[in-house]
Chain A
Amino acid sequence: MAERSKSCLEKLNRMKLALSHQEADRVPVSDFFWSSFLRRWRQEYGLPSDTDIYRYYDLDWMQFNPNLDPHIKTFEILKDTPEEVVVRTGFEAVIRKKYDQAMPAFLTFDTNSIDKMRMFEFDDPWDPRRFFSAGDDQINGVGDSFARNLPPFVDRMNAAWPDFPVFGGVCEAHETMWRIVGSENVMCWMGEYPDEIARFAQRIHEFALGLLKAQIKAADGHLDGIVIWGDVAYKKGMMFSPEFWRKYFKPGVKALIDEAHSHGLPVIYHGCGNVRKIFQDFIEIGVDAYNPLEFKAGMDVLDLRRRYGHQIGFCGNMDVQLWANGSQEELKAAVLTKLNAAKGGGFIFQSDHSVPSNIPPSSYEYVVKLVREHGRYPLQLGGYDLPEFNNENSRHSGYAS
């Protein structure tokens, strides 16, 4: 195994300082990218089809998931045409991926009754195939793109390890549950059979904890952090009651965070939508940074910094709609204003979810350059500087919500 590069060690230090609310040399920047954006970017810039955007822009961290599917299995191909593929995956869901559409369609879920949910079994989270074998899996393979027989998790992670901080990943209970039984069943059964959903959430979190422990062991000291994937909210608020989340989901998420922390691994929690009702809970259970902070859902990094101070870090919040349609002046105003949240560290600059194909590559590049230029400490934000976020002040706790 190659040594870590000097650049990587600088990035590690940058991420470590940011996540511990200290100012490094500059604000870290990275992102998650749609495959359709990457195709557009390579095409418009005349780049080879295998150009790695993380290396091209020397971004500050990368994320890899092992096989997180409940059942380790090869995709069952039900239909395969030049236009689309239909597969049954290790979640026992049938998914159609049309290649000209951004997202796949979940057609059916085999686990479509309470009895089936009760009987659902998980393959061993410690199965070495999850980490050391090539194969198919839904989380990595069926999304905005379709990929089969991915290289082993450890190989993918170790290929990046010399040059990038690498984070592993695990799904919390809701993220796994809806993929097994379908979103509508999760929501309806929460109302009709809350105890059953609670029991299943507990079982899923036991599985997730196993996946996390096994992943950390398999990575053999090469992970620098963990992302917990966990959507529980939408534009206006929580999908289900905060009380239900606190009682039946929060303990499992806390256990994942505690496990990561016991290995010295910081946790970035990814949860879409407006989570303001449980944001204090995420602080309480030790999330190191919250992602993606969807701007369109009313999450604003400056408002959050005012409210919570440096009790939690932030990762995200650059409005992709502005990024897609804004002028350079508008983009500069947004970027430099948001960088106020990086005073005193605690901010990783990223999109407010992922970079979609309608963002012009030139705009993507422009924003990264702005962050590089104006995100160097001490921050010089000119007319966009907001003294209320100055370092001394920003270290005070925010007022309670």
Chain B
Amino acid sequence: MSGNKDLYDAILNGNAKQAHAATQAAIAAGAAPMELIQGSMVPAMDEVGRLFEAEEYFVPELLLAGRAMKAAMELLKPLLSASGQKMAARVIIGTVKGDLHDIGKNIVASMLEGGGFEVIDLGADVSPETFIAAIEQQQPQIVCMSALLTVTMPAMKLTIDALKTSGLRSQVKVLIGGAPVTMDYAKEIGADGYSENASGAVGVVKTLLAGA
């Protein structure tokens, strides 16, 4: 790891205060924001994801790493905006209409931010119309949808159909996930990708973007 070790360690250990302090110190020392993101934060979240896949980290560690990363990004986002630099891609994420579960979706959002993406979180109970409006306004490359109930999964297809009707389908890649969701279901409803967990979502998004 060639980047800022203090920042890397702070994120890996889920210490938001230390992440904030390390970022502040790095900025003061002249580090470029994108260098901190790509050189320290993304590798840290990659390692968090690896540890989660290996079942050495669990939801608490993921959430705390996400909070630490957010604490660092609070300082970096204004600097990125000022310099006109953009994150690797823009992602819109939400739990579909009728479904109020959000902890899984929140973890995916954290992991995607940690993966160097700009994430716009629409929250839970998001109607197809709300997804459409957000896509029109924010122009994302990726749309992520989450559902935790078998009775709310159909809203994923409704949203994809709404994308087609509104002429937006070809502008975005759609990734779905959630407890009852499977790869087969993703193919059935015309989604572009599926991830069975939060850490895997980052890899799937990168694959989708590479193939775009």
Contacts and interface: CB of A to CB of B under 8 A. Distances in A.
B61 interface: yes
A240 interface: yes
A96 B27 CA distance: 43
Given A101-B125, A234-B104, A356 B58 contact: no
Nearest to A356: B151
A357 B67 CA distance: 37
Interface string A83-123: 00000000000000000111111100000000000000000
Interface string B119-151: 000001100000000000000000000000111
A184 B150 contact: no
B196 A236 contact: yes
A160 interface: no
A184 B103 contact: yes
A184 B106 contact: yes
Given A240-B58, A356-B150, A191 B64 contact: yes
Which of B101, B106, B150, B182 has the most chain A CB within a 10 Å cutoff? Answer: B150
A87 to B, nearest CB: 15
A240 B98 contact: no
Interface in B140-187: 149-152, 179-180, 182
B60 A240 contact: yes
A74 B140 CA distance: 46
Q: How many interface residues does chain B have, given as a range?
A: 20 to 34
Contacts of B150: 320-321, 324, 356, 358
B100 A103 contact: yes
Contacts of A241: 58
B63 interface: yes
Nearest to A325: B150
Contacts of A328: none
B197 interface: yes
Contacts of A296: 179-180, 182
Interface string A211-241: 0000000000000000000000011111111
Q: How many interface residues does chain A have, given as a range?
A: 20 to 34
A379 B58 CA distance: 42
Contacts of A320: 150
Contacts of A187: 59-60, 63, 103
A283 B104 CA distance: 29
Nearest to B148: A103
A297 B106 CA distance: 20
Interface string A160-186: 000000000000000000000001100
A356 B98 CA distance: 14
Nearest to B97: A101
B99 A103 contact: yes
Contacts of B104: 234
A192 interface: yes
A277 B149 contact: no
B63 A188 contact: yes
A235 B64 contact: no
Which of A100, A236, A297, A357 has the most chain B CB within a 10 Å cutoff? Answer: A236
A190 B57 CA distance: 12
B81 to A, nearest CB: 28
Interface of A: 36, 100-106, 183-184, 187-188, 190-192, 234-241, 277, 294, 296-297, 320-321, 324, 356-358
Return the 5 tightest CB-CB contacts between A and B, nearest first.
A191-B60, A190-B60, A105-B100, A191-B64, A235-B179
9 contacts: A103-B100, A105-B125, A191-B60, A191-B61, A191-B63, A234-B179, A235-B197, A241-B58, A296-B180
